[in-house]
Amino acid sequence: MSATPSPFAPKSFPDLPVIDGVRIGSIAAGVKYQNRPDLFMAEMADGTAVAGVLTKSLTRSSAVEWCAKVIKHGTGRAMLVNAGNANAFTGKAGMEGTEHMAAAAAAAVGCKKKEVLVASTGVIGMRLPADRISVAVPALHAGLKPESWEAAARAIMTTDTFPKGAGAECEIDGIPVKIAGIAKGSGMIAPDMATMLSFVFTDANIPSDVLQQLLTKGADKSFNSITVDGDTSTSDTLLLAATGKAGNKAPKKASDKSLADFKEALDKVLTDLAHQVVKDGEGASKFVTIDITGAASDKAARRIGLSIANSPLVKTAIAGEDANWGRIVMAVGKAGEKADRDRLTVSMGGVLIVEKGEGVQGYDEAPVTKHLKGREIDIAVDIGIGKGKARVWTCDLTHAYIDINADYRS
């Protein structure tokens, strides 16, 4: 964990709802860190539907490959997650370590290994001390409780400076439904979904195929729209578990009108968690919202937005509170999407600064500079050629990012 707290760190962890059919907890297993919890476990009721969105990295970890198989079956009974060691790029030993974790959790819960979802986060290329995890699991399982959200969120932290949680309550056909989730992520954050680790739970009764569609769309609007440093992790995992304990009638398809309130609540939770990841970006001091309109398509708008969001020159200018709009124009041009220089408009903090291919005549930089001194920065770009739009979020790039990553393994 980073020593310097993020300026966006909340005063307290949110009060998350208890999810019927879910028990959670954490323990210090000594995977890497000493004297702090580094192992998270969740036990879900029998018949719990699961869905997931996983990294597309071609060097993804064995835990991600394991999760893909479990998700395909559609049901799960447990999750087991360690921090401090990514168990990635460790050859045959990687899958052996993942199976070891699944077996330990399955034995504790009394289920099959294929019903256990596994995730690991931390240093890449180091063999996982799976024996330490298996020794810790029985005591971890014995201490699981329905309300241990903050402890669970802390256990999966690496360079994070605060635990991340979000919850919501809604209805499906008049039946009360609850949602709660936790996430970790601070660096190696770029959307290629998912981005980081996040585990979300609901008591809604939703079949796995419908749950998967809802999660995929929700991830696209949240976790796939954030970036801290442009790097996609080998371990990125987003999981959603629905216990069915709320008792609502199961919807047959994602477009079912009864799911309208649930969709909104789920998207709210996912977006909240995604924002917290960006706000805890390694060394971040600014939270940046970038709105792109007028692009050739929504996909093109996102690519342009991410080109701006990932630009080191844009991010360092924001860190230095420098209203250097030329860097934004540069990032639009390099995105590889259709753009017309003479139709482009750029605004910062609601102030129009670029129009029709050049800087606005008589533009007063003072209000923009004042805006950049704040914590939350708004950039808007209209491409002027179509109806495509997108919103992405990022943070600034400070010297603290170098400090954190220069000695990450120490």
The pLDDT profile of the chain, 410 residues, written as one tens digit per residue, is: 446 788 989 999 999 999 999 999 999 999 998 889 999 999 999 999 999 999 887 888 899 999 999 999 999 999 999 999 989 888 899 999 999 999 999 999 999 999 999 999 888 889 999 999 999 999 999 999 999 999 999 999 988 999 999 999 999 999 999 999 999 976 555 555 545 799 999 999 999 999 999 999 999 999 989 887 666 667 789 999 999 999 999 999 999 999 999 999 999 999 999 999 999 877 789 999 999 999 999 999 999 999 999 999 999 999 999 998 999 999 999 999 999 989 999 999 999 999 988 899 888 899 999 999 999 999 999 999 999 999 999 998 888 677 666 665 44
Residue in 407, 357, 408 with CA at minimum distance from that of residue 382: 357
Extract the annotated binding site: 158, 184, 195, 282, 405, 410
DSSP characters over 47-80: T-EEEEEE---TT--HHHHHHHHHHHHTB-SEEE
Residue in 118, 245, 238, 225 with CA at minimum distance from that of residue 175: 245
Extract the annotated binding site for substrate: 158, 184, 195, 282, 405, 410
Could you tell me if 83 and 155 are in contact, meaning their C-beta atoms sit under 8 angstroms apart?
yes
Q: Does residue 83 sit in helix, strand or coil?
A: strand
Clarify whether 121 is annotated catalytic.
no
Domain extent listing, the chain: 22-279, 287-406
Do the first three CATH levels of 22-279 and 287-406 match, i.e. the same topology?
Answer: no
Could you tell me if 75 and 49 are in contact, meaning their C-beta atoms sit under 8 angstroms apart?
yes
> What was the pLDDT predicted at 1?
47
Arch. (CATH architecture) of 287-406: Roll (3.10)
DSSP characters over 146-178: TT-HHHHHHHT-SS-SS-EEEEEEEEETTEEEE
Distance (Å, whole) CA 283 – CA 400: 5
Q: Look-up: residue for tokens 């309300």?
A: 147
Number of Cβ within 10 Å of residue 21's Cβ equals 21
> What was the pLDDT predicted at 328?
96
> What was the pLDDT predicted at 186?
67
The class of domain 22-279 in CATH terms is alpha beta
> What was the pLDDT predicted at 73?
95
HSE-CB of 62 using CA atoms within 13 angstroms = 21
Residue in 5, 28, 118 with CA at minimum distance from that of residue 400: 5
**Catalytic hit among 55, 90, 159, 195:** 195
Distance (Å, whole) CA 240 – CA 197: 11
Distance (Å, whole) CA 141 – CA 146: 12
Residues 6+ apart with CB under 8 A from 232: 55, 56, 57, 188, 190, 191, 192, 195
